[in-house]
Amino acid sequence: MKFQFLILIAVSLSVLLVSQVAESSYADVVSPSKQVKIGIDKSEVICKAHLVKVYRINADSIDCFTPTTAEKLIKSGIAKDIPKAKLDAKKSFRQNSPIGTINGFDTVKKFGSEGKFTSTPRTVEYLYVFEACANEKTVRVPEVLVTSDSEAKTVKLAKKIQANTCFTSSASIKAIDPKSISGVLTNKGIITDKLTELENNVSQLQGKLSVLKKSFSDVIPKDSTPLTADSKVMISTTGDEIVKLRAELNLAKGELNKYLFTLHSPQLPASQFAKQKLAFTGTPLEGTSAKILTVSKQTLGNTDTPDTVTGVKLYNVVFEACSGNDVLRAPEVRISSDNEEKTIKIAERIIANSCQMSAGKINALDANSITLEIANRADVSAKIIQLESNIGMLLDEQVQYQKELNKLVVLSVKPANYEEKVTELSSKIIDLRNQMRDLKFQLYGNLYEVYK
């Protein structure tokens, strides 16, 4: 009787635990406090998909609330600056269905896990082998909520699930009764849609920028022939558009990488986060170069101080930036003159042994004083490339283990060392998944710092 009572208490507590975790687990970004801890500015904090951001006046802080609570705070004068349209757009989040499914293949006692004999029911660690499937929409940063009669945990899978496809993975979880273990895909589609929207925005801006850059080829002389009046007007107009588009593209990339950065942050309490310090010093990559193609005085919309007063003129500088034998992932060009110095983020990587054409504007007394150089970003470029390479290798390795695990669990006749083999493959998959999560956190943190 006493033993049954203990089981009842354990089950009741586990139900409470599971319901609490399930209520807040929606394959989303980490909390605002954790975002601030990892280096996101308070004004740039992203709210979870079903919440909205408000500025609390008295507390001088930005926080996330449900649409209903946010509206009440705004009406009472406690908070401000949240458009009603944004509140309305967040309705019915919890009613949305997941955009994929989790199918349990097998639940195997982790090899060597015998549990602990105590006055309470014995808890054993199991491996839950499952198949994660996407419906008609690709699932970005898939997250699985795995629950049992003793524990509930969320698992962020290391790769996206392409639309109408599945792949096998595994998670470890403690349970009294292995039959109580189950999993559900918590992605509701909001984050997937947001990432797709941001990626499409970046892609569209890149396309527009590429067209404008190519238009320079038609007006830049192949020799030392002077520019015509029409060419100067075209360069001024196109240069203005390039500067504007490049700024928009940098902002769009910053927003995209901020989302990815917060989505891949480690699953740790906020108190364990340390604000990430990202250095951006280094030496130019060997073989990189920057060359001025033409310099012409701004002909349209020049609102600078009249030349007769200061002698300063605004110039359009069309240039090319070239990489050496390595990809230049965070290209920056420094333009200097006898009047000012500025750094231009080109916004697109430069593949090995190739060049990117772009344009910038700078004030100068003498056009001949204008110079160009690749800014010192070699360390960042090399770090990003290395992180991407490491993630790719780990992902390839994990895919192989997932295929082996899938073949093993669907066998009609299991081998004698079945539990041992499932434990071995699952442990490798879980370890690789954690390694990739940490590397992606570093990668998107670097990219966010570059473009924010």
- Residue-wise pLDDT for 76-87, tens only, equals 877 765 555 444
Burial of 321: CB neighbours in 10 Å, binned 0-12, 13-18, 19+: buried
Domain ranges for the chain, please list them: 32-92, 100-113+120-187, 275-376, 381-451
Hey, what amino acid is at 382? A
Spacing of C-alpha 264 from chain mean position = 7
Determine the distance from the C-alpha atom of residue 357 to the mean position of all C-alpha atoms in its chain, rounded to a whole number. Answer: 27
Ramachandran region, residue 77 (left: φ > 0; alpha: ψ -120 to 50; beta: rest) = left
CA distances in angstroms from 65 to 8, 38, 56, 133, listed in the order given: 35, 21, 11, 31
Q: Which of 409, 398, 395, 414 is nearest to 127 (CA)?
A: 409
Residue 135 corresponds to which amino acid? Answer: N
59-118 pLDDT tens trace: 667 788 888 888 888 888 777 655 554 444 444 444 567 889 999 998 998 887 665 444
CA distance 270 to 265: 11
Please give, one letter per residue, the 3-state secondary structure of 378-397. Answer: HHHHHHHHHHHHHHHHHHHH
Choices 1.25.40, 1.10.1760, 2.60.40, 3.40.50: CATH for 275-376: 2.60.40
Token pair 């709210």 is found at: 47
Q: Which residues pair with 166 in a beta bridge?
A: 133
Distance CA 139, CA 263 (A): 13
Q: Whose structure tokens read 């947001």?
A: 194
Find, among 408, 386, 397, the residue nearest to 433 by Cα. 397
Question: Of 250, 230, 247, 219, which Cα lies nearest the Cα of 318?
Answer: 219
Please write the tens of the pLDDT for every residue from 307-362: 555 678 888 888 888 877 777 776 788 899 988 988 887 766 777 777 777 888 89
Most confident of 57-61, 185-189, 409-413: 409-413
- pLDDT tens track for 356-371: 778 888 999 888 899 8
Helix locations, 275-377, DSSP H: 307-310
Q: What is the pLDDT of residues 226-276, one digit of tens each?
A: 778 888 888 888 888 888 888 888 888 888 888 888 777 765 443 444 434
Residue 19, judged by CB atoms within 10 A of its CB (0-12, 13-18, 19+), counts as exposed
Strand spans (E) along 66-109? 79-80, 100-109
Write down how long the chain is. Answer: 452
Distance CA 67, CA 366 (A): 57
